Amino acid sequence: MALEELSEIAAARRIQRLSSHISPALTEPPQLQTEACSSRSRKLVVNGQALSLYMKGKHRDIQEKVHEFYNSRPDLQTPLEISKDDHRELCMRQLYALVREAGIRPFRYVADDPAKYFAIMEAVGGVDMSFGIKMGVQYSLWGGSVINLGTKKHRDKYFDGIDNLDYLGCFAMTELHHGSNVQGLQTTATFDPITDEFIIDTPHDGAIKWWIGNAAVHGKLATVFARLILPTHDTKGVSDMGVHAFIVPIRDMKTHQTLPGVEIQDCGQKVGLNGVDNGALRFRSVRIPRDNLLNRFGDVSRDGKYTSSLPTINKRFGATLGELVGGRVALAYSSVGVLKVSATIAIRYSLLRQQFGPPKQPEVSILDYQSQQHKLMPMLASTYAYHFATVYLVEKYSEMKKTNDEQLVADVHALSAGLKSYITSYTAKALSVCREACGGHGYAAVNRFGGLRNDHDIFQTFEGDNTVLLQQVAADLLKRYKEKFQGGTLTVTWSYLRESMSSYLAQPNPVTARWEGEDHLRDPKFQLDAFRYRTSRLLQSVAMRLKKHSKTLGTFGAWNRCLNHLLTLAESHIETVILAKFIEAVRKCPDPSARAGLKLVCDLYALDRIWNDIGTYRNVDYVAPNKAKAIHKLAEYLSFQVRNVAKELVDAFELPDHVTRAPIAMQADAYAQYTQVVGF
Ligand X SMILES: Cc1cc2nc3c(=O)[nH]c(=O)nc-3n(C[C@H](O)[C@H](O)[C@H](O)COP(=O)(O)OP(=O)(O)OC[C@H]3O[C@@H](n4cnc5c(N)ncnc54)[C@H](O)[C@@H]3O)c2cc1C
Cβ at position 210, least distance to ligand X in Å: 7
User: Is 424 annotated among the ligand-binding residues?
Assistant: no
Q: How far is the C-alpha of 574 from the C-alpha of 551, rounded, in Å?
A: 30
Residue 245 near ligand X by CB under 6 A: no
Residue 180 near ligand X by CB under 6 A: yes
**48, 213, 275, 597: which one contacts ligand X (CB under 6 A)?**
213
Cβ at position 283, least distance to ligand X in Å: 14
Cβ at position 466, least distance to ligand X in Å: 7
Closest by Cα among 611, 617, 600 to 633: 611
Contacts with ligand X, 216-235, as mask; x by CB under 6 A: --------------------
Tell me whether residue 56 or residue 178 sits nearer to ligand X (CB atom): 178
Tell me whether residue 115 or residue 563 sits nearer to ligand X (CB atom): 563
Task: Please check whether residue 643 is in contact with residue 597, taking contact to mean a CB–CB distance below 8 angstroms.
Answer: no
Q: How far is the C-alpha of 318 from the C-alpha of 466, rounded, in Å?
A: 18
**64, 196, 299, 465: which one contacts ligand X (CB under 6 A)?**
465
**70, 109, 139, 171: which one contacts ligand X (CB under 6 A)?**
171
- Of all helices (H) and strands (E), which one includes residue 125? helix 114-127
Interactions with ligand X, residue window 406-445 (CB under 6 A): none
Read out DSSP for 531-577? Answer: HHHHHHHHHHHHHHHHHHHHHHHHHHHHHHHTHHHHHHHHHHHHHHH
Tell me whether residue 209 or residue 595 sits nearer to ligand X (CB atom): 209
Torsion of CA 93, 94, 95, 96, to 10 degrees: 50
Task: Please check whether residue 197 is in contact with residue 290, taking contact to mean a CB–CB distance below 8 angstroms.
Answer: yes
Contacts with ligand X, 468-487, as mask; x by CB under 6 A: x-------------------
Closest by Cα among 214, 192, 230, 228 to 281: 214
Catalytic residue from among 122, 197, 323, 463: 463
Strands (E), 134-285: 169-172, 188-192, 197-201, 209-213, 221-231, 238-249, 262-266, 278-283
> What is the CB neighbour count within 10 angstroms for residue 277?
26
Which span sits near ligand X by CB under 6 A: 168-176, 298-306, 314-322, 339-347? Answer: 168-176
Tell me whether residue 215 or residue 377 sits nearer to ligand X (CB atom): 215
Interactions with ligand X, residue window 254-313 (CB under 6 A): 270, 273, 278
**117, 462, 504, 582: which one contacts ligand X (CB under 6 A)?**
462
**70, 107, 191, 211: which one contacts ligand X (CB under 6 A)?**
211
Phi, psi of 449 (to 5 degrees): -60, -40
Which span sits near ligand X by CB under 6 A: 124-132, 209-217, 473-481, 498-506? Answer: 209-217
Q: At 136, which amino acid appears?
A: G
Task: Please check whether residue 126 is in contact with residue 659, taking contact to mean a CB–CB distance below 8 angstroms.
Answer: yes
Q: How far is the C-alpha of 464 from the C-alpha of 181, rounded, in Å?
A: 10
Contacts with ligand X, 63-92, as mask; x by CB under 6 A: ------------------------------
Give yes or no: 463 in active site: yes
**What residue spans of 368-523 are helical by DSSP H?**
370-403, 406-437, 449-457, 466-485, 496-505, 518-521
Cβ at position 281, least distance to ligand X in Å: 10
Closest by Cα among 108, 111, 117 to 323: 111
Tell me whether residue 161 or residue 184 sits nearer to ligand X (CB atom): 184
Cβ at position 7, least distance to ligand X in Å: 36
Contacts with ligand X, 107-146, as mask; x by CB under 6 A: ------------------------------x---x-----
Cβ at position 567, least distance to ligand X in Å: 9
**199, 417, 458, 569: which one contacts ligand X (CB under 6 A)?**
458
Residue 324 near ligand X by CB under 6 A: no
Tell me whether residue 425 or residue 512 sits nearer to ligand X (CB atom): 425
Residue 289 β-bridge partners:
197
**120, 146, 173, 200: which one contacts ligand X (CB under 6 A)?**
173
Residue 179 near ligand X by CB under 6 A: yes
Q: How far is the C-alpha of 279 from the C-alpha of 343, rounded, in Å?
A: 33
Which span sits near ligand X by CB under 6 A: 18-26, 169-177, 297-305, 508-516? Answer: 169-177
> What is the CB neighbour count within 10 angstroms for residue 321?
16
Residue 461 near ligand X by CB under 6 A: yes
Tell me whether residue 253 or residue 271 sits nearer to ligand X (CB atom): 271
Cβ at position 179, least distance to ligand X in Å: 2
User: Is 213 annotated among the ligand-binding residues?
Assistant: yes
Q: How far is the C-alpha of 226 from the C-alpha of 243, rounded, in Å?
A: 5
Q: How far is the C-alpha of 44 from the C-alpha of 471, rounded, in Å?
A: 41
Which span sits near ligand X by CB under 6 A: 299-307, 462-470, 501-509, 624-632? Answer: 462-470
- Closest residue to ligand X in the complex (CB): 179
> What is the CB neighbour count within 10 angstroms for residue 359?
6
The CA–CA distances, whole Å, from 98 to 70, 120, 165, 197 equal 9, 10, 11, 37
Which span sits near ligand X by CB under 6 A: 38-46, 166-174, 237-245, 618-626? Answer: 166-174
**94, 145, 174, 186: which one contacts ligand X (CB under 6 A)?**
174
Residue 457 near ligand X by CB under 6 A: no
Which span sits near ligand X by CB under 6 A: 199-207, 244-252, 464-472, 611-619? Answer: 464-472
Task: Please check whether residue 648 is in contact with residue 43, taking contact to mean a CB–CB distance below 8 angstroms.
Answer: no
Q: How far is the C-alpha of 665 from the C-alpha of 587, rounded, in Å?
A: 32
**Helix, strand, coil percent content, the chain, rounded in steps of 5:** 65, 10, 25
Which span sits near ligand X by CB under 6 A: 117-125, 334-342, 400-408, 458-466? Answer: 458-466
**Binding residues with ligand X: total (CB under 6 A):** 20
Name 223's Cβ contacts closer than 8 Å, sequence gap at least 6. Answer: 141, 142, 145, 146, 149, 169, 170, 171, 172, 245, 246, 247, 248, 294
**Residues of each annotated binding site:** 174, 213
Residues with catalytic annotation?
463
Residues contributing to the site for ligand X (CB under 6 A) = 137, 141, 171-174, 179-180, 211-213, 270, 273, 278, 458, 461-462, 465, 467-468
**Residues of each annotated binding site for FAD:** 174, 213
